[in-house]
A and B are shown apart, each in its own frame.
Chain A
């Protein structure tokens, strides 16, 4: 099967069936990858990772996924390259397209950039994170991780805790999880969790205890240090006291709850360090699943299946 759109811009646009197919394909790729199988379905196709924001983790994951399928990968890290400052984004991308590319994986600090490019080039566009908007492959890997651990997605209570306002992961997770029938709770201080977000179908609370009560899945979000400077939080100390996940807080969740974090973790800020070693933590699996999900996405978009 293929996706209806030539692009993957967000989970808001995907149907439940598309999400299920992507997860199913990802499970297959995960097995094949673990078994060391070489796949060549995208041989000769060129995938460009165009990153306007540094993210070694996501970029590497896309790169491994594309190479594992036999594709040729070009990495362009704009922040680190000598590309002329202010060079027109569309010019850059149309130049790349004229050099031949099957898929553009784009990370940008500005929401909507993947949409803007997708409507102007013929190649597939994959959103690898746009501003505060969406990060669809991260959400898909979160879904895959939850499904592997819990055996299902439907009917689970998922608590997402932290800086919701600035989190593209939270938005994509919310779309993905609610589409497959999970109940999503968003939790953070009011300056990072405006109540209007509740209109996207989530339950909203400022009290982590309420979000955690009986939760099957707990997703802690990375707190961006810079936000604090903008005065949205009075202090990191107070934030830790109110929102950091500790063993004690986590004991409110279901005994077999899954603990996740999109990484990289600010040690001691979002989670107390001992939780990283906790058997409930699935943070390492998230990374593995990231490659599988990205293989599935590239494959379904580029017709490699």
Chain B
């Protein structure tokens, strides 16, 4: 399908562009971005006046649960959620059952996703065999099969020697190690952030120090090995400070943050609300302030959802029995618009960098810009569309979100992947 996306506000940090332009798409590629382009007769028009047109968004941290836990999510339902959320690509974490620790499973996941004609899927493979943290996996073969990074996310690599070896070995394929920073001894049995509220509500706490200790360790290992380190879902002020020092030192490190850690505090747990049960836990107001400031300063590189869907039955339980994680893919964009762009914390250009350009750069993925010749992966946002978050409308099987009922502005209007319109006005379009 050939398209002329007409009259939108094109925001493309790669070209330093933020202006009204048309975008011409032919044979799945971007042909041209310019003012008043003419459509060829075989070209469909997508009217984008008053809308924001951006390079396709990439969520570099999602859990799709397939294989093994298809009642929580499948590759299909996860990619439909991605498309509805305005993401043209997502990276799935390997903590499936079995885990993505061998090339055949990487190939399987890629194969399944390609049959669907939805958003693109880039798998992340395990750092260690079985995700057990004992021996590093066959990273070269995993990378050859299509793994874009390595992570044991859901768990840290507790053993410092193994983590060191992983960072060294990953240099062979120049792929980042994505670290879930958590000292498991300090968080054992933990249910929420450790602090006044955990003591008040009688819930076992997870101190910020548990994250910071591992951030510090991994930064030192990155300095030691020269391996590329990416810090997943940072949640605390202390982690941000450690990142700031590491940057000054020139350590090769990037970092991501989730909308829920930016916008919510531990108080959200009040009344034992399991939709606020996440790992790392929601922390205090000074942590959210520090994260927002780090985002504004450019210290943080990416916004990722850490989409972690669970079944309703699992989340509808007493707090201590409920699993960690929320369904995040379909609320990232309007949360970013409503709470980061509209209040002026970050610009549209910076937001597009965080959601597209920088994730692509960190993982060496195509996309991230609208320069001609690129695959036509495009996200269109309606900055004026305001509506409440209704989990029943989610394409994801996971319906748990602490943002339920929040009125948000700036929902994705269209998601185009390789020139195919896969979502328009919230509806998934069958190919």
Contact = CB atoms under 8 A, between A and B. Distances in A.
A and B, one complex? yes
Interface of A: 12, 88-90, 108, 110-113, 115-116, 119, 130-134, 165, 168, 171, 194, 196-197, 199-200
A196 B320 contact: no
Contacts of A89: 317-318, 321
Contacts of A133: 201-203
A131 B202 contact: yes
A88 B311 CA distance: 15
A89 B318 CA distance: 8
Contacts of B202: 111-112, 130-134, 168, 171
B319 interface: yes
Interface string B192-204: 0011100111111
Contact of B272 (A112, A132, A199): A112
Contact of B319 (A110, A194, A197): A110
Interface in B184-212: 191, 194-196, 199-204
Nearest to B322: A116
Which secondary structure dominates where chain B touches chain A?
loop
A110 B321 contact: yes
A119 B318 CA distance: 11
Given A90-B316, A196-B199, 13 more contacts: A12-B200, A89-B317, A89-B318, A90-B317, A108-B318, A111-B272, A111-B319, A115-B271, A115-B272, A116-B272, A131-B203, A171-B202, A197-B196
Contact of B199 (A88, A110, A134, A194): A194
B200 A200 contact: yes
A90 B272 CA distance: 15
Nearest to B320: A110
Contacts of B199: 165, 194, 196-197, 199-200
Nearest to B202: A133
Contacts of A115: 271-272
A112 B318 contact: yes
Given A199-B196, A200-B199, A112 B316 contact: no
B196 A113 contact: no
B201 A112 contact: yes
Contacts, number: 61
A51 B179 CA distance: 42
Contacts of A88: 317
B133 to A, nearest CB: 23
B81 to A, nearest CB: 27
Contacts of B204: 132
Nearest to B203: A111
Interface residues of B, number: 18
Contacts of A165: 199
Contacts of B200: 12, 171, 200
21 contacts: A88-B317, A110-B318, A110-B319, A111-B202, A111-B319, A111-B320, A116-B272, A116-B317, A116-B318, A116-B319, A130-B202, A132-B202, A132-B203, A133-B203, A165-B199, A168-B202, A171-B202, A196-B196, A199-B196, A200-B199, A200-B200
Nearest to B274: A116
B190 to A, nearest CB: 13
A5 to B, nearest CB: 12
B197 to A, nearest CB: 9
A116 B194 CA distance: 21
A90 B200 CA distance: 25
Nearest to B204: A132
B421 to A, nearest CB: 42
B316 A111 contact: no
A185 to B, nearest CB: 16
Contacts of A131: 202-203, 320
A171 B108 CA distance: 53
A93 to B, nearest CB: 11
Nearest to A168: B202
A133 B270 CA distance: 13
Contacts of B271: 115, 119
Contact of B195 (A116, A119, A168, A196): A196
Contacts of B272: 111-112, 115-116
Contacts of B317: 88-90, 116
Nearest to A113: B318
A196 B201 CA distance: 13
A84 to B, nearest CB: 16
A111 B272 CA distance: 8
Nearest to A193: B199
A196 B207 CA distance: 12
Contacts of B320: 110-112, 131
A131 B204 CA distance: 10
Given A133-B202, A134-B202, A112 B196 contact: no
Contacts of B191: 111
Interface in B365-396: none
A89 B321 CA distance: 10
A162 B191 CA distance: 24
Contacts of A171: 200, 202
Nearest to B199: A197
B201 A111 contact: yes
**Residue in A111, A133, A168 with the greatest tally of chain B CB atoms within 10 Å:** A111
Closest 10 CB pairs of A and B: A133-B202, A112-B272, A132-B202, A111-B202, A199-B196, A110-B320, A112-B319, A113-B318, A116-B318, A197-B199
Contacts of A200: 196, 199-200
A133 B321 CA distance: 16
B93 to A, nearest CB: 28
Contact of B203 (A112, A196, A199): A112
Nearest to A130: B202
A111 B189 CA distance: 13
A200 B198 CA distance: 11
**Residue in B194, B271, B272, B317 with the greatest tally of chain A CB atoms within 10 Å:** B272
Nearest to A166: B202
Contacts of A110: 318-321
A133 B203 CA distance: 7
B189 to A, nearest CB: 10
**Residue in A108, A196, A197 with the greatest tally of chain B CB atoms within 10 Å:** A196
A89 B191 CA distance: 19
Nearest to B321: A110
A134 B203 CA distance: 11
Contacts of B316: 90
Interface string B305-321: 00000000000111111
